[in-house]
Structure 1
């Protein structure tokens, strides 16, 4: 090898190590930057006329594990979906309470039964009569409060769903812009690593809202779809274009309605949790409450002399009409509010019964021990009012604890995969510092070669002189 080739090789080594030092410094500076992927320089040897003449930088290598990224996003998406659902169920269950809680419907119903039992022992006592009326009002208030809570949770969740849809649209708009910039840089041979990092961070954010699949097309375009293949992004988006829209309670993707079933396009993400809350969890809770209210109205109406007329509990002041929405309309009959003696003589009675006559109170007490038919989801088909109320409250708490248990399990899996992703694609400071030492040694060696080659050239010049 000639002195000139040695000098050329050494100079190329100096240039390359300078670039490596700059890249390593960039990695270290971004060691704590969320979503940053470690960069390396792809190097190759240079040959001149078949002889080695140094080293060159071919490209900036940004190596990621696409399968690991896919799995990490999927588990994170499943976690955020259960987190959203568990949060909504917890808000409702907090108002409904546990079966043994003072505020729960089951406890208030049990207290009404106890009030009637005390009245049975002292039917002429005004305080005992008023206690029945007061407890009946408390029970209806408890049902109404629970129904209002379910409706509030549903309304609030729909607001959150809109925010989630807006988040996806904003992120995909930016991804569309980045697609164009990355394609342009790739075509010019530039480094688009930072832009790809930003795009991946945006896609991570999208995957928290809705489960997605992605793949790259030639030219740097990233295509985004739901996990079942409904396209969200496959072309440059025009300003203001929205891949996702909310029509009523239905999420639309480019005009196609999505749903939140196991085989649907929405399989995970906050949007799935919100849609399930809006279309499944809260309607089911309201239906169970309505069945409870219908059981009360019909049972006490049937205990009266004329079972077609309003009894102790009414449908907004009238006789039983329809079950749907009844938990929000149930009310204590105004007749007993003004004349409490009717709770021992019958709401429809023309006059108080004779002192000591407990016939009507016995009929009212029978209401609590007689099994009735119910048609609500996940509820017993036949049960007493008390058993149904306890089952209803327990079921709602069960939905909550089930969602929270699955959320916690998903979080462990999501955290594990995310840690693996960071360890695989992120910056390890110790590794980078070791690499920096090697770069320093390599730079020093190349500089030494330049010095030696320089002295050799000086000697040659002296000889020629």
Structure 2
């Protein structure tokens, strides 16, 4: 090797180590930057006329494991979907209570039964009569509160669904812009690492909101689809384009409905959780409450002399007309609030019964032991009011605990994959510091070669002189 080639090789080594040091420093500086992927220089040997002439830099390499990223996003998306649903169910269950809780509907119904039992023993006692009226009012209010809680959770889920859809659409617009920039820069041989980092962060954001699939084109652009194959992004979006839209209570992806079967059409993400809460969980909860309210209103109405007229409980002051929405409308008959003797003699009675007469009280008490039909989802088809109320409260708590158990399992899986992703693609400061030490040694060696080559050239010039 000639002195000139030796000097050229050493200088290429100096240039390379200089860029390696800068890149390692850049990695260290971004060690805590969310979504940053470690960079390395892709190097190869340089030769001139078949002889080694040092090293050359081919590119700044950003190496990621696409399969690991895909799995991490999918598990995170499944976790966020379950977390959203579990949170909504917990909010509702907090108001509904456990079967044994003081505030639960089942407890309030049991207390009303006990109040009638006391009245049966003391039919002439004003305190016992007022106790029945007070407990009946508390039961109606408990059903009202539970229905209001379910409606609030449902409305909140719909509001949050709108926000999540906006987040997805905004992110997809930016991803489309990055796709174009990456394709252009790739064609020029430029470094697209920072653009790809930003795009991956946005894809992570989208996957938290809705389950997605992605694939990369040869020009570096990424195509985004829902889990069931509905395309969300395959080109740069025009201003005003909305891949996801909400029409009424329906979520649409480019005109195709995703709300009917979110488990199969969406599969994961917060959007699935919001849709399940708004379209499945809370409507089911309201239907169960309405069935209980209908049972209470109808059975006490049937215990009266005229079962077509309002009884102890009413549908907003009127006789029973419809089950839908009844839990929100159920109220104690205004007549018993002003004339408590009616809980002993009958709400429709024209005059009080004889003191000590327990006939009507016995009819009211029989309401709690009679078995009737129910048609709500996941509820017994035939049960007493108390058994139905206990089953309803237990079922709602079961939905909550089931969702929380699923959420916790998904979180473990998601955290494991995210840690694996960070460990593989992220920055390990200890490794980068060791690289800097090696770079320093390499730089020193190349510098020494330059010095030796320089002295050799000086000697040759002296000889020629």
TM-score normalised by the shorter chain: which range applies?
over 0.9
Asked if the contact 1:37–1:426 (Cα under 8 Å) also holds between the matched residues in 2, the reply is yes
Q: Which residue of 1 aligns with 2:344?
A: 344
Matches within 5 A, 1:22-37: 22-37=22-37
2:157 aligned with 1:121: no
Scaled by the length of structure 1, what TM-score is found? 0.98
Q: Which residue of 1 aligns with 2:192?
A: 192
Asked if the contact 1:82–1:403 (Cα under 8 Å) also holds between the matched residues in 2, the reply is yes
Match of 1:41, SS?
A: strand
CA distance in structure 2 between the partners assigned to 1:263 and 1:429 by the alignment: 41
Q: Which residue of 2 aligns with 1:12?
A: 12
Q: Which residue of 2 aligns with 1:71?
A: 71
Query: What per-residue deviation string (whole Å, max 9, x for no partner) do you get for residues 378-420 of structure 1?
Result: 1111111001111111111111111111111111111110000
Scaled by the length of structure 2, what TM-score is found? 0.98
Shift in Å, 1:264: 2.5
Match of 2:398, SS?
A: helix
Q: Would you say how many aligned residue pairs link Structure 1 and Structure 2?
A: 465
Query: What per-residue deviation string (whole Å, max 9, x for no partner) do you get for residues 307-329 of structure 1?
Result: 22211111122221111111111
Q: Which residue of 1 aligns with 2:321?
A: 321
Asked if the contact 1:292–1:388 (Cα under 8 Å) also holds between the matched residues in 2, the reply is yes
Query: What per-residue deviation string (whole Å, max 9, x for no partner) do you get for residues 170-191 of structure 1?
Result: 1111111111111111111110
CA distance in structure 2 between the partners assigned to 1:201 and 1:291 by the alignment: 47
Match of 2:261, SS?
A: coil
Q: Which residue of 2 aligns with 1:83?
A: 83
Q: Which residue of 2 aligns with 1:271?
A: 271
CA distance in structure 2 between the partners assigned to 1:154 and 1:246 by the alignment: 15
Matches within 5 A, 1:281-430: 281-430=281-430
Query: What per-residue deviation string (whole Å, max 9, x for no partner) do you get for residues 39-97 of structure 1?
Result: 01000111111111111000111000000000100110011101111111111111111
Q: Which residue of 2 aligns with 1:253?
A: 253
Asked if the contact 1:260–1:266 (Cα under 8 Å) also holds between the matched residues in 2, the reply is no
Q: Which residue of 2 aligns with 1:447?
A: 447
Shift in Å, 1:261: 3.3
Asked if the contact 1:260–1:275 (Cα under 8 Å) also holds between the matched residues in 2, the reply is no
Match of 2:265, SS?
A: coil
CA distance in structure 1 between the partners assigned to 2:430 and 2:131 by the alignment: 74
**Aligned-residue CA RMSD (Å):** 1.1
Match of 1:130, SS?
A: helix
Shift in Å, 1:10: 0.9
Where do 5+ consecutive residues of structure 2 fail to align?
none
CA distance in structure 1 between the partners assigned to 2:355 and 2:97 by the alignment: 40
Where do 5+ consecutive residues of structure 1 fail to align?
none
CA distance in structure 1 between the partners assigned to 2:72 and 2:199 by the alignment: 16
Query: What per-residue deviation string (whole Å, max 9, x for no partner) do you get for residues 102-145 of structure 1?
Result: 11111111111111001101111112111111111111011001
Match of 2:376, SS?
A: coil
Asked if the contact 2:262–2:272 (Cα under 8 Å) also holds between the matched residues in 1, the reply is no
Matches within 5 A, 1:87-102: 87-102=87-102
